[in-house]
Amino acid sequence: MLIANRVRNMPPHFFSSLVKKVDAAKAAGLDIINLGRGNPDQPTPAHIIKALQQAAERPDTHGYSPFDGIPELRNAISAFYKREYDVDVDPNTEVAVLGGSKIGLVEVPLAMMDEGELLLLPDPGYPDYLSGVSLANITYETMPLLKENGFMPDFDALSEDVKQRAKIMYLNYPNNPTSAVATVPFFEEAVSFAKENDIFILHDMAYGGIGFDGEKPVSFMQAEGAKDIGIEMYTLSKTYNMAGWRVAFAVGNRQMIEAINKLQHHLFISIFPAVQHAAIAALTEDQACVRELTALYETRRNILIAECKRIGWEVEAPKASFFAWLTVPPGYTSETFADILLQQAGVVVAPGHGFGTHGEGYVRVGLLASEERIAEAVRRIEKLGIFSVSEA
């Protein structure tokens, strides 16, 4: 069987290996509470489903989409950014429609980088960033995200050699896996750094619709000069529970958008028009579903944090996203701790080392189970005797 080197050399997929462990535990008869996944557990809102149904019944949606997506969707994306962030986006030149943001994240190195060029990635970070590195045959350096820096990269810590060679930098806030949030001043610092060093920025805003304690995550596009050097990718998967629908978009720098669109012209003919009409409904109609979903995740977060502290597991409450980034107790690695929770408690968490070297010492816990199951998961962990209230 012939396999191209670009596929043969791709890194093992972290989440597929985690799924295998979970499947093995289920096959052994364990009742599993899966807090390790990133797949929303709630259904897509009814008005979005209705929009899909109505659009699918129209014969004009059954053909190929325009290459750059239907104009109505691009206009809706522009209106969304104006309404949510007071940012003007040209729907004709500053929008790329994507079949999910994961596709866009992998496409950017293919569209904008030549072999051997350097990409800057956060560590810890979304593991699939490395897929684009492998497929484009480029190199990469990581930017440590440390607790003492609020899980923000320290641009001054990068070597002069890395600054000179880097062509693109990925940022991601609210952050996966740390759940850290960024500010407009931080993004403005990133813009200044990028301009000084001739680096383009891709900001991955997958969790931009989910903020807690009354705080709304900010957009990279709100930073002065952001469009000069960067784009932002936004997916409907998390904000609107549309993970399986595979619809997202990028906005910002015209050259970067043009490069993405040109590559996509050769790979796809956009996405099913009826799905695009459903996306329009999501972006432009009543946003009560977003507020309700955020409130649900905040309730789950509060239960998780309160229960962890009750058993002596001192953790910090996430400010955004549907993840919590929890410290591993002394004497364990992130993987050994995650394995014990799975094998002895039937609780799945994602070990931090799978997100990068600086993810060691943490596990990622998803708020993607009911309040009752989250509380039960912590009670199961309590019975292992790893934590004690007296040590808290």
Query: Could you tell me if residue 230 is inside a domain?
Result: yes
The reported pLDDT for the residue numbered 392 is 40
CATH of the domain at 360: 3.90.1150.10
The reported pLDDT for the residue numbered 390 is 57
Query: Could you tell me if residue 391 is inside a domain?
Result: no
Same domain (yes/no): 254, 151: yes
The reported pLDDT for the residue numbered 2 is 82
Same domain (yes/no): 163, 22: no
Q: Is the dihedral of CA 85, 194, 172, 118 positive or negative?
A: positive
Query: Could you tell me if residue 164 is inside a domain?
Result: yes
Using alpha carbons, list the distances in angstroms from residue 389 to 36, 175, 309, 312, 317: 25, 30, 8, 4, 18
Domain total for the chain?
Answer: 2
Q: How many other C-beta atoms lie within 10 A of the C-beta of residue 223?
A: 24
Is the Cβ–Cβ distance between 364 and 174 less than 8 Å? no
Cα 5 to Cα 134: distance, rounded to the nearest angstrom: 10
Same domain (yes/no): 195, 261: yes
Query: Which residue positions in the chain have pLDDT lower than 50?
Result: 391-392
Using alpha carbons, list the distances in angstroms from residue 183 to 57, 201, 214, 319: 44, 16, 15, 12
Q: Buried b / exposed e across 108-142, counting CB within 10 Å, b at 16+?
A: bbbbbbeeebbbbbbbbbbbebbbbbbbbbbebbb
The reported pLDDT for the residue numbered 391 is 44
Same domain (yes/no): 358, 260: no
Cα 70 to Cα 97: distance, rounded to the nearest angstrom: 9
Same domain (yes/no): 139, 271: yes
For 102, the token pair is: 């994961």
What are residue 96's phi and psi, to 5 degrees? Answer: -125, 125
Query: Could you tell me if residue 335 is inside a domain?
Result: yes
Is the Cβ–Cβ distance between 369 and 377 less than 8 Å? yes
Using alpha carbons, list the distances in angstroms from residue 123 to 24, 152, 358, 388, 392: 29, 10, 6, 31, 29
Same domain (yes/no): 221, 325: no
Cα 249 to Cα 161: distance, rounded to the nearest angstrom: 33
The reported pLDDT for the residue numbered 119 is 98
The reported pLDDT for the residue numbered 225 is 97
The reported pLDDT for the residue numbered 179 is 97
Q: Which domain holds residue 146?
A: 47-284
208 secondary structure, DSSP code: T
Q: Which residues pair with 347 in a beta bridge?
A: 33
The amino acid present at 169, given as its one-letter code, is M
Same domain (yes/no): 154, 88: yes
The reported pLDDT for the residue numbered 7 is 84
Same domain (yes/no): 253, 329: no
The reported pLDDT for the residue numbered 113 is 97
**Per-residue DSSP letters for 22-66?**
HHHHHHTT---EE-S--S--SPPPHHHHHHHHHHHTSGGGSSPPP
For 154, the token pair is: 């320290």
Query: Could you tell me if residue 127 is inside a domain?
Result: yes
Model's pTM, two decimal places?
Answer: 0.95
The reported pLDDT for the residue numbered 33 is 95
Is the Cβ–Cβ distance between 97 and 118 less than 8 Å? no
Query: Could you tell me if residue 392 is inside a domain?
Result: no
Same domain (yes/no): 206, 145: yes
CATH of the domain at 263: 3.40.640.10
Closest CA to 57 of 228, 345, 274, 347: 274
Decide: residue 239, CB within 10 A, 0-12 exposed, 13-18 middle, 19+ buried. buried
The residue among 243, 261, 284 that closes a domain is: 284
Decide: residue 325, CB within 10 A, 0-12 exposed, 13-18 middle, 19+ buried. buried
The residue among 261, 284, 307 that closes a domain is: 284
Query: Could you tell me if residue 174 is inside a domain?
Result: yes
Same domain (yes/no): 113, 257: yes
Is the Cβ–Cβ distance between 237 and 206 less than 8 Å? yes
The residue among 262, 284, 306 that closes a domain is: 284
Query: Could you tell me if residue 371 is inside a domain?
Result: yes
Ranges of beta strands (E only) in 161-285 are 166-172, 200-204, 230-235, 248-252
Same domain (yes/no): 273, 303: no
Same domain (yes/no): 324, 205: no
Cα 241 to Cα 297: distance, rounded to the nearest angstrom: 12
